[in-house]
Structures are given as structure tokens and as C-alpha cells.
Amino acid sequence: MSKFQVDMHCHILPAVDDGSQSMETTLKMIQIAAAEGTTHMIATPHYKKDRHNASPETVKRLVAEVQKLSDDNGLGLTILPGNEIMYFSDMEEAFDAGKFTTMNNSDYLLIEFYPDDDYARIKRGVEMTQSLGLHPVLAHVERFAELRKDPNKVEELRNRGALIQVNAASMVGEQGFGTKQYVKKLLKRELIDFVGTDAHHYESRAPHMEKCAKYLESKVSAEYAEKILYRNAFEYFGIR
Ligand SMILES: [Fe+2]
């Protein structure tokens, strides 16, 4: 079992997006995470244009509250701030106005696209993020049709400086066999940098990591498994 396990994509902050809606739900979610060996969680509430998104101050306050919840319940988790940004063309303005939170306040930004966005738009998102002086981390790449069709495109984006995240459930086949096979291809080529649960609740879309950690440990080298499970997150996001 890996010494550390970072869930770097989850929606555990209560009542700020379509994830947890209450501290009671958040508690059940973080209990599952701790029981499955997770040691660090980066809370990444959605940030979408024209929505009532949580401000960095709100994210910071809720992260502190969830940290206290973990401490009070003896879960031993470290809760860190972040956001999952749905790419939009005037992101620069929002960034300049300090409206969203990067991964643990580092220069890495978790960014997502619509599943059927064309490759040109995904590339623009990567370039736009880089133009802000940030490194893009592409959320759940297995969801994007253009990247599904061609794993070489994932490699190309990675060569351009993007980092790649897949969801734990996708890796272990809970999103279908085709998705599992696709993720396996990416793994074989060592194109994956992070895994996250993208948890939204404690029943469906719960923060399960154990099965994925075991899968990684059986499929790839110990060194690469550790990178995906925590070393990359520690190094890039400045954890600890
Ligand atoms: Fe998400």
C-alpha cells in the first residue's frame, strides 16, 4: 500500500457546486476516503462562467472547516484548496480579478472541457492557461471524445506542457470496458500524471481510491504508481 494517497480532484466542499450539499454528506465522503487510504484531498469545486462560483475566500474558509471536521473525527486527512475550471474564452479576466483557486495555490490549474469539444478548443484552453503563467492539468481526459479517438493527442498535449488526470472509477472499469481499455493504453505509455475520484457524494460517485491504487500497483512499476498516487501531486502542487 502506498504511503500517501492524494485525491486531487473531488467535490467535498458543501453547498458550492453539484457535489456535497451539507457538512453531513462531506463527513461521510471523507470517512470513505480515509478508510481507503487517502491521506490528502484537494477540494476542487466547479468554477464555471456565469455561475455563482465560490470565491477563493469561501473555498479557503470551507477547506478550513472540512479540515476541522476531519481532525474532530480523527481521520488524519489533509484538506487543500483548489478549483476545477470549465474552460471559457475570457478566463484571463477572471484570473486577473483573482476569482478562482489553483491547485493548493500553486501554479497548476485543473481545467475541464465539454465532452464533445473539438481538439482545437482543447488546445486553446491549454494555451490560454499557459498564457496566464499556469500549468494546465486536464481533468478526466477519458471523457473527451477527441482524445478518446486518438491517444496520440493526449501525448501531444502532454508534450505541449499539459498534465493528465484520469478518474479512479474509469481506471478500474466502473465507467465501462471501453473506458477502462482506453485508460490502460494511456497507462502503458505513461501518459497519466494524476488520478482523482471526482467524487460528488458518498453513494454514487464516492471518493473510492483503494481499488484504483491496487490496480495501479499491479499494472505499472512501483515507481510510476507512486508518481500517480502522490509523488507528482506533492512535487507539482507543493504539498508538505
Ligand atoms: Fe470534477
Kindly give the distance from the C-alpha atom of residue 203 to the centroid of ligand 1, in angstroms, as a whole number. 16
- The pLDDT value recorded for residue 51 is 84
Domain spans, the chain: 6-237
CA dihedral 135, 139, 143, 146 (to 10 degrees): -10
Q: What is the DSSP string of the chain?
A: --S--EEEEE--STTSSSS--SHHHHHHHHHHHHHTT--EEEE--EE-TTS-PPPHHHHHHHHHHHHHHHHHTT---EEEE--EEEP-TTHHHHHHTT-S--GGGSSEEEEE--TT--HHHHHHHHHHHHHTT-EEEETTGGG-HHHHH-HHHHHHHHHTT-EEEEEHHHHTTTT-HHHHHHHHHHHHTT---EEE--B-SSBTB----HHHHHHHHHHS-HHHHHIIIIIHHHHHHT--
Kindly give the distance from the C-alpha atom of residue 9 to the centroid of ligand 1, in angstroms, as a whole number. 6
61 class by beta-carbon count within 10 Å (0-12 exposed, 13-18 middle, 19+ buried):
middle
Kindly give the distance from the C-alpha atom of residue 111 to the centroid of ligand 1, in angstroms, as a whole number. 9
Residue found under cell 493527442: 153
Contact 87, 111 (CB under 8 A): yes
- The pLDDT value recorded for residue 18 is 96
- The pLDDT value recorded for residue 2 is 82
Contact 214, 206 (CB under 8 A): no
Kindly give the distance from the C-alpha atom of residue 198 to the centroid of ligand 1, in angstroms, as a whole number. 5
Q: What is the pLDDT along the chain (240 residues), one digit of tens a residue?
A: 789 999 999 999 999 999 999 999 999 999 999 999 999 999 999 999 988 899 999 999 999 999 999 999 999 999 999 999 999 988 999 999 999 999 999 999 999 999 999 999 999 999 999 999 999 999 999 999 999 999 999 999 999 999 999 999 999 999 999 999 999 999 999 999 999 999 999 999 999 999 999 999 999 999 999 999 999 999 999 997
- The pLDDT value recorded for residue 52 is 80
Query: Does the pTM exceed 0.75?
Result: yes
- For domain 6-237, the CATH architecture is Alpha-Beta Barrel (3.20)
- The pLDDT value recorded for residue 208 is 98
Kindly give the distance from the C-alpha atom of residue 41 to the centroid of ligand 1, in angstroms, as a whole number. 13
- The pLDDT value recorded for residue 77 is 98
